[in-house]
Structure 1
Amino acid sequence: MSIIADIAARADALTAIRRDIHAHPELAFEEHRTAALVADELERCGIETHRGVGRTGVVGVLRGRNPGRCIGLRADMDALPIHEINEFAHRSRHDGCMHACGHDGHTTMLLGAAQYLAATRNFDGTVVFVFQPAEEGEGGAPAMIEDDFFERFPVDAIFGMHNWPGMPAGSFGVTPGAVMAATDRFDIVVRGRGAHAAMPHLGVDPVQAGAQLVVAAQSIVSRTVDPLEAMVVSITQFHAGEAYNAIPTEAHLSGTLRTLTPQLRMAARERLRQVADGVAQSFGVTIDVTILDGYPPTINTADEAAVCREAAESLVGASQVSWAHRPSMGAEDFAYFLEKRPGCYVWIGNGPGDGGCTLHNARYDFNDGILPLGASYWVRLVERFLAV
């Protein structure tokens, strides 16, 4: 493994930063302390710093030795509304809020790269360090874009990275094409006619129709999608009735659609409505489907993925870089950046996920041992993309 020596020498300092952020988690658009820590450190390194981008985001701009292209590197800063049950000294000091997804580590790795690049400037062009708020479902990326991010910071390409428990520490996963799914939420209201449970023939049962809809919705995946394409339809809520002896008037269902391509995303929405219409006609109920836009699919561009592969292999060797790594059906708002510019989102191994150390788990903790590797990856990526 070829971690940059100067970054490896700062491993303890990076760990201290990471654990400080972990101990003081902040939810979406509330990352005031974290943003101040990031901005202060960028300014200390002599990096041009912009605060309050997309409400609580921070952007640093570092120019190299000569003019050239512009690369964006993005890390997310927000925590999750989860009560941490770890007992180590740097556990969350805020009840009901913790860094359960590793954004504390993402922020620290990018800061480590910024520190090194500010000292060396071994590149032409410009590096834009993007510390984004509100990734966890609140849309910090579109908030930054709406705040004229691309007009103010005209990057030619943009890159992201996420830790992945279960992948060995010292490894990377790089995927050309779709790497994470679109996720759209839906709410469904089934309306029938209430009746006494002893006299069901006098009513129109929305529970029976809703139950059939739960089953029929899975035919969207099993019978209308190419088996080689990925889609997930999950109905996660079903609420109806208040009494043991009464058939209710309404049933309420909710869930998510997850797809890896824009085309399949639109097809899934349309097919869900068609299935609902068919169930409504069969059972004599009315069904209203409301689909709420979620994050689009995260789709890496091939040339940028190849550069990421080269940067990772320069550090850990080809055998430790999984090329065409299997996509995840989770979602990422980095997708919004990739809708505007070429780029790539990669995985960095966080080590075993034993003992609950998995994403969005109350026992999760970022592996401090990979901080120097992640920071070194960012540096090597910059040096390749902005070659002197």
Structure 2
Amino acid sequence: MCRTYNKIGSLTALKSHLEKNGVHDFKSLKEVIDFQKSYANSRQHLIRQHESLIREEKNSLDRELPELELAIEIQRQQATEKLKAEIDLLKEQLAVSKSSTGTNLFKKLASVVSDWRRTVEIKRKEHNFDTEVDRALGGLVEDFQLKSNRSRFIASDFEEAARQSVKNPLSELDRKNEIIKEGSNYIYGALGEQKVAKTLEALSDDFFLINDFNRSFSPAIHNRQENDFIKSVQMDHILVAPSGIFLIETKNWSEESLENASLRSPVAQVRRANFALFYLLNNKRSNYRLRLDGHHWGDKKIPIRNLIVLAGTRPKEEFQYVKVLAAGELLNYVSYFKPIFSSAETEAIAEMILRMNGQSDI
């Protein structure tokens, strides 16, 4: 089985896009695609679910309200009886105090003060009787009122109650769907790149697949032939084989995309990457580090072949410097070329490219 390195670039870009927008639900491309496929059904299911929740809430309120009303009545009776008992006790104490006689002046003064306090307390309790009873009920009355209002609202406008209930989760579901739609190019790209990667994984372990190769240059390297200053290159896949290197750019394009002149040409992209990789590999320093088996004619050149693999529509035209293939043609094309490197040399080239990946040549 082909030795594979790094995650697929479009998949990494999709994950970054989702996380940037606060979407962390998905662990794989399949989960994202499944979400898209089931979005309409999920939306209807969510609406029905909250309609069911509102019905359950109404049934629960219908059971709770009579029980709560009974609890309020019992609590009111107990609070009323307790408050009456307190008032009766104060009146009894006042009557006893007034009927008692004494000669001690200080005791008489103390008794007068106590009687005055009892009289004030009796008047206060009688004046605030209803308020005191209501206070003893705690939050029962308020709870009953809130639940009663809620029950009447559901009964009078069930659809609005259900709409309010589902509003936030439905809004979040719609938001996720919009964010995924915004990243549709990443999804199409990831599907194509996954297809190519899976195809290449069928090769033997003499092959090395490096996904999402990135390299930047400062200062830019100059391609004199094209008069192009290359600051960075990115390739979907680099396949290091015993027969050389295959630069593979994958496109999952529709026929409309193929005809869209504003989209960047993958041919130019692959050719720029070819020049950059040739610049990095075919020089004295690289040859020294690679220690490729010598030939009496001189240093061996590492061939680099340019491929565009189309998972969708394929153009009828052929192009110079780049071979355009369908994913199903890829293995036969790669296997056509005869080996020119040993297993150790192939591995050394792959290791050097892996070290270059993500670096900046400054």
What TM-score, normalized to structure 1? 0.23
Structure with max Cα Rg: 2
The structure with the greater share of residues assigned to strand is: 1
The structure with the greater share of residues assigned to helix is: 2
Between 1 and 2, higher relative CO (CA 8 Å, sep ≥ 6) is seen in 1
What TM-score, normalized to structure 2? 0.24
